[in-house]
Structure 1
Amino acid sequence: MSRSESRPVPWRVAVAGLVGTTIEWYDFFIYALAATLVFAPQFFPSTSTVASTLAALSTFAIGFVARPIGGALIGHFGDRVGRKRMLVLSLLVMGVGTALIGVLPTYASIGVAAPIALVLIRVAQGLAVGGEWGGATLLALEHARTRTERTLLSSLPQVGLPLGVVLASLVFLVVRLGAGDEGFVSWGWRVPFLASAALVVVGLLIRLKLAESPEFERVRRQHTVRRAPIADVLRAPRIWVPASGITIGSSTLGNLLLAFMLGYAAKAKLFSASTMLTVTIVAALLWCVALPAAALLAGRIGRKRVLVAGTVGTIVWAYPYFALVESGSHAGLFLGTMVAAACIAVATGPYGAYLSEAFPAEIRYSGASIAYGIGGVLGGAIAPIVATLLVTSTGGLGAVGGYVAVASGVSLIAVLTLRSPYSVTASALAVRLPEETGTP
């Protein structure tokens, strides 16, 4: 069998990964939109609007908290039995969980069992997403043949995030306009969750046709599969600690843009929910284009330089973005959101390759997934909650801008600290880590 026949075209693998991550992030962000717009009264009734909103946003955060756990679990088996199987599993868990939310009774029907069930489903979704990003990124990265190709193709699963946002926002916008405000709150919000079932079937059919990573196959042939890849990762804090901090800033700003601002602008009567959804869609489309463009640039001038530029951009733009939104000007809203989306895209374009190649292939799935999950918890998970508390205590968005700038400062230090790609070859791994051999 020829080389071209035995090894799939890298672009096809990357695009297949993009389709899967888009579906998973669609599932993840329809929850974010629902938590912002309807979950507070439906599942967390309270005499305090702030309290019920915080409770709803907390379930959104729970999904992020579960991500590093999912990254550890799915990453362990991804390093032991292969990337492809874990990607199929993660998509299946996410899809089933999303469909269940679509038929879940509310608090008015079954009482406290409703929010408990919602939280449990959200935990399952978080576990699934925790293993999704690492697997999709690694399949694209490890099928690529050159350094530039690895940087670009590993960015495509990242594009699944804004594409999922676009898809989720469009579905919510159409349903909201079609059902009206009362119909949307009553039953319309369930439609995007139920529609996910069809998307998951498509995604599973695509993923089942993927080939296993050539680098994992090499590890298996050489009998260097690790028995406890998570333990190996934790023994290398000089890698996983800074790796976990790289996206704290962009994750913080991104989730405020996607989840928090929608509800805040509507409650503060700055802009309608439909206006915010429309702007979010346009910003996410820009994000989709700018992200691979940043990866291409990184392939030419270096990954670290682009990551530093994007992270500095989030620091500089943090306060102007929120000031422009708070001005109540539609032009200000559009400008502020577009620049913020561009900064996030630049700060994450080369991230997949930079983070993944900080770890050797033998522990790469576990290492990348755990670091990605921890960054999500410290960034995106708590961002809407912290922002809500800051706005409640200060009465405005100024303090939120400072919070984003500080989070991005942490990421800048992490980018400058992490060394990538992995500086020791796979053949030397047994020297640096406890010696072991054998197949799983």
Structure 2
Amino acid sequence: MRRNLVLFSSVLLTITEWYTFFLVSQLSFIIFPIRLGIIVFILGFIGRVMGSIIFGYVGDKISGRLSITLVTISIIISSFLLIFLANNYYALIISRTLQGLSLGGEWGGASIIVSESFTNSKLRIFILSLVQLAVPIGLIISTSVIFLLSLFSIIKLWNYSFLLTIILSVISTTLILSNFEERRVTSLVKIPLVDAIRKEWKNVLIAIGIKVSESSNFYIFTSYVFSQSVSTNLISSVVLISILTQLITMPFFGYLANSIGRKIILTLGLIIFALGSLFLKSDLLLGELLLSISDSALYSPQSSLFVDLFDKKYRYTTTNFSYQLASIIGGSLSPSLLALTHLQVIQIVIPYILASFICLLLIGYRN
């Protein structure tokens, strides 16, 4: 019962983190001038890398419980800044950076907490894929909020949407701290990230290489798409339809990864990614659906894959750092390049697909 509550609360906190991050990511292409919007968009990714280092260090050296607590404090402060100082650019920049910091430490922490709670389960890979469901659910909520704000012509009240962040963060973190029994591993490493890069640099590069395609895919079909010359309501509807499919496809691919192997599912995801990139601009709905399905195949095995790649003594740090650095390279760079240039989507994503496929061939798991 306690471990089920840990799973539920970890997913709830991760939903809250993604909802908050996605809402600002999408709004940055709607309500801000293009250059300011791109700055705000990218700042969140930079913050994510910083958060992976800071909160990863806390999780590895001190306590995972403390790391989760600090993550929650960061997202609450960020939300208060947006609610009360939305028109202040300095507050916006600080808030977006804090969002990134919080998400950068939370995703890996939640994955590790659930992994430790279900260590002996035969369905561990599938169960960890449920953590990944937080992404489509968070995006569904953020997209629905934008749709409603646009529908009722109250987009200027977007900042009050972060009241939900504060409420859900407090509830989920309280449940995690009340039910998670941490298994501490004494670490003699002074700086986990430095030691991890020195000893496991190959696995760090492999994790980054596998992640970049999924990040590029996801932020193209959920954020960049809002820069198209189509009504916000229509784009919101298409994104919502596409992401709703992930409530089925993500656990489906997670189950398949548990049954037939992660490499097969990841390879399939890369192939569908290429197809979706070809159709996105000529057939918006088809392109969005293909990219959504591809993202599910690429993303559902990631929690278990990242956790299994690294030694326990610096798992918080390396899991978060690899994930978040890949998000900058893929998630922030590809949508920004597409928004600033007239290149075709496939021209931007082919290098990511090739890099991920090569890393997939090199992957090995730690038992």
TM-score class, shorter-chain normalisation, is over 0.9
1:254 aligns with 2:210: no
1:162 aligns with 2:107: no
Q: C-alpha separation between the residues in 2 aligned to 1:65 and 1:237?
A: 21
CA contact (8 A) 1:230 1:363 kept: yes
Give CA deviations for 1:359-389 in whole Å, capped at 9, x if unaligned: 0111111110110011101011122211112
1:31 aligns with 2:24: yes
The residue that corresponds to 2:351 in the other structure is 406
Question: Which 10-residue stretch deviates more, 403-412 or 200-209?
Answer: 200-209
Q: C-alpha separation between the residues in 1 aligned to 2:245 and 2:4?
A: 22
The residue that corresponds to 2:69 in the other structure is 88
Change (3 A) 1:147 1:309: farther
CA contact (8 A) 1:140 1:150 kept: no
Give CA deviations for 1:79-132 in whole Å, capped at 9, x if unaligned: 1222222122212211320231122152xxxxxxx3232112211111111111
Instruction: State the Cα distance separating 1:204 from its structure 2 match.
Output: 2.8
Q: 1:192 aligns with which of 139, 144, 161?
A: 161
CA contact (8 A) 1:69 1:127 kept: yes
CA contact (8 A) 1:292 1:349 kept: yes
1:231 aligns with 2:199: no
Written as runs of structure 1 = structure 2, the 5 A alignment for 1:133-172 is 133-146=107-120, 148-172=122-146
Give CA deviations for 1:193-217 in whole Å, capped at 9, x if unaligned: 233322223223323323134xx33
The residue that corresponds to 2:335 in the other structure is 384
The residue that corresponds to 1:435 in the other structure is none
Instruction: State the Cα distance separating 1:224 from its structure 2 match.
Output: 4.6
The residue that corresponds to 2:263 in the other structure is 304
CA contact (8 A) 2:276 2:288 kept: no
CA contact (8 A) 1:379 1:407 kept: yes
Change (3 A) 1:277 1:168: same
Give structure 1 regions of 4+ aligned residues with deviation exceeding 4 angstroms. Answer: none
Change (3 A) 1:197 1:147: closer
Using the aligned pairs only, state the percent identity. Answer: 23
Q: 1:123 aligns with which of 65, 79, 97?
A: 97
Letter in 2 for 1:404: V
Q: C-alpha separation between the residues in 1 aligned to 2:307 and 2:324?
A: 13
Written as runs of structure 1 = structure 2, the 5 A alignment for 1:108-119 is 114-119=88-93
Q: 1:317 aligns with which of 276, 284, 292?
A: 276
Q: C-alpha separation between the residues in 1 aligned to 2:23 and 2:119?
A: 36
- Partner SS state of residue 382, structure 1: helix
Instruction: State the Cα distance separating 1:400 from its structure 2 match.
Output: 2.0
Instruction: State the Cα distance separating 1:314 from its structure 2 match.
Output: 1.0
CA RMSD of aligned residues (A): 1.8
Which structure: larger Rg? 1
How many aligned residue pairs are there?
Answer: 366
CA contact (8 A) 1:92 1:204 kept: no
Q: C-alpha separation between the residues in 2 aligned to 1:376 and 1:29?
A: 13
1:347 aligns with 2:314: no
Letter in 2 for 1:413: I
CA contact (8 A) 2:6 2:175 kept: no
- Partner SS state of residue 36, structure 1: coil
Change (3 A) 1:172 1:304: same
Change (3 A) 1:145 1:208: closer
1:21 aligns with 2:2: no
In structure 1, the gaps of 5 or more residues are 1-7, 41-51, 107-113, 326-332, 424-440
Q: C-alpha separation between the residues in 2 aligned to 1:289 and 1:9?
A: 26
Letter in 2 for 1:414: C
The residue that corresponds to 1:60 in the other structure is 41
TM-score by length of 2: 0.94
- Partner SS state of residue 212, structure 1: coil
Give CA deviations for 1:143-167 in whole Å, capped at 9, x if unaligned: 1134642211222221111111111
Q: C-alpha separation between the residues in 2 aligned to 1:350 and 1:195?
A: 29
